[in-house]
Structure 1
Amino acid sequence: MEQKSILVGVGGGIAAYKSASLCSLLVKNGFDVQALMTEHATRFIQPLTLQALTKHPVIFDTFAEPNPSEIAHIAVADRAKLYVIAPATANLIAKLAHGLADDMVTTTALAATCRTVVAPAMNVHMYDHPAVQENLQILRDRGVIVMDPGEGPLACGYTGKGRMPEPEDIVSVIKALLEEQQDLEGLHFVITAGPTVEDIDPVRFLTNRSSGKMGYALAAQAISRGAKVTLVSGPTHLNPVPGAKMVHIRSTEQMLRGVQEAMADADVLIAAAAPADYRPVQVFGHKWKKSDGLPELALEETPDILATVSRSRREGQTIVGFAAETRDALSFGRRKLESKGLDMIIVNDVSQPGAGFDVDTNQVVVISRTGDVDTLPMMAKSSVADRILTRVKALRNSVDGERTG
């Protein structure tokens, strides 16, 4: 396996001794391993042990900066292809769930943009506690891979669920995730996100409630799986996606031009944005005053980005649309799929709680041009993005098979 950088975060529990076996197995499998420890973890296993196994100094002091040219927790997070935290104690899980960062393991977790795997280890009653289960669900909803602990005799004397997963099992999960992450290598995705804005005057404008979170999640997941990504984004409050070429636009016309330019050498368009459908025929040069009376606001349609790009697509390009509906979602979604000549459409009913705008979850139905319908459960938008990308890849593989068959 090509050498990839793996972060191993070690929490302060008796299962910390297993982290030595985990690091050793990862190194034997060709990974470059950087170990991080909490201060409590150093009470159970010496950092020197993990240093000898990984051939890298172990980082456990948040104020120790061995390289003055970089910030340690930022640098290791940027280099990592995957972050595994094992063992993850109840305390550590709570910090991860609520964004606390008072040690190297949790501080680095906030800086990491790669996939994260958490391997819980604790007493059976602690693991079953509602607070711990809620915290684990928070992590799952964010797209963190939470491994189930093993069952058996525990160090505390109890028998039950709470044993840290075996190092061999953790390595198998890591391999599978990394192989999956690179399955889009060589493909160029153009992804649109957020709303567009159509000015009425220098102060007022027409827009919609789109936050851009779904499109940004798609961009981040596509990059993590090896794709080249151009993200054409309307105005949002979101941070740029690391690794993506960011094209910031304001109006629907500008978004169309940005997409057309990027599609010149792209393989896939995923149109997750919510462009404004109408714009004022006349844009007032100055702020319209109430004293001027009620303005007559004549509207015209904005360009249809999906239909325009679909008509001019090159052979081999895949075009995926989104349909945000409030009624008869499947019916309208199928109609849009056909009328715009799409390969796939993602339909969601934004009137449903947790599936609308400006939330971190979504519940969608994926409809392909072959008639396949796949209803996904409510989940974090990062997880929805991962499922969509997997279906896009499968669609492209099936089309390529038909061409060569």
Structure 2
Amino acid sequence: MVLFRTLCVVMVIGAVFYPTASFGADAKALLSEANTLFRNADKDFMSGKMDSAWEAVQKAKEAISAAKEADPSNSQVTSLEKRIDQLADKIEKRRGGPSPAGTSEKPQPRAEAPQRLPATASRYLMEADRALKRAEELLGPDRDKQDPGRLPARLREALDPAEKNINKLLEEFPDFKDHPDVTPKVERLEAARKELKALEEAASASKEAAEADTARKEAESGEWLKKLRPFVAAKSSMDDAPYYDPEKEMLSYAGFDIGAEELAKRHRIHAEAAAALQEYRNAGVKEPLELLAETAGEIGSRLGKFNAALDGLGRIALNEARQQLDWGREFMAENLSKAERGEDFIILSRDVLVGIQSRLDQAAVFLKKDDQELAGARSDYDALDRDGAVLREKRAEKILMLPEKYSGDGGEEIRSTA
């Protein structure tokens, strides 16, 4: 008896659980079938095959209803059922009437849905939306990081596909101009166009201001170029042809091999260039053209080179004069001391003094007039010349023989003194 009861329990449990597994498998198969029918119906709808689409969607409804009965809690079944109902509504509206006779299912009253866009119109709208997004990114928060001069062109380039695709849609499908999917895109396009117009107007005004500013700079710099460029204009440059003047060309080389006349000419040109450059600097031109700034820099560079070359030559001549002066002072100190003691002494040859004077004069050609070393050397020369005169007088006093019979060093000078 116990065994019989156990078998009964097992049979009841099997009757409860095994059919459920079978229903789950059926629901999955029905869901797959309904999904296939739904896709076929949607494909026919997009291709304009309304009758075929209607037939497929009705079959999809039947399949999804069966799947729902088999597995009421399946969320995939619920989702697909909703999509099938929406497609059925669209097909019914497109077909322009109720379902054919013989269809047992009566459509439920629903809010009127907008007519679905044709596939080509949808493609135009998708391309337009993609272009509008690119344009809106340009107009977004990072707008200030972009070059304002290039932004209008970039925005126009981004908007061009949007305009073309929306225009195609409106031309080919005029009945859809007020479609709820179309009007927002048109409004976004118009908003972007307004932004573009404002940007182009601002860019145009900025360009005009920049052109006016450039014209002002060119006029101001042009006047200074006429004054300064001839000093550094290159004879071989076509661009420098309007400025070249051989009488103003700064030749910054200076050497002992240059004649006095040529050196004086170079002195004059560099002095004129220095004065013109100082005048330009005093004028305070704030925004010179590149050529003017380059010209001013070149003049300053050549002045520096010329002055350095002159100073170098002047120092060479001055050093030679200084060496002779140092030797002359030692000579004078020794012989003046001998003369004071009554010993034999030697007077300083005039040739030494002439040589020192020549070197000082040569140094003066290259050095500035207020050069302190040159002034000191001239002072030392004057002192040496005075000491030389004293020594010559002592020699004259010491000589006792007749002047005309003296044949030693400085004879002519002694005779003239006597």
- For Structure 1 versus Structure 2, the TM-score category normalised by the shorter chain is under 0.3
Q: Rg bigger for which structure? A: 2
| Alignment TM-score, normalising by the size of structure 1 | 0.19
Higher relative contact order (CA 8 A, sep 6+): 1
Higher-helix-fraction structure:
2
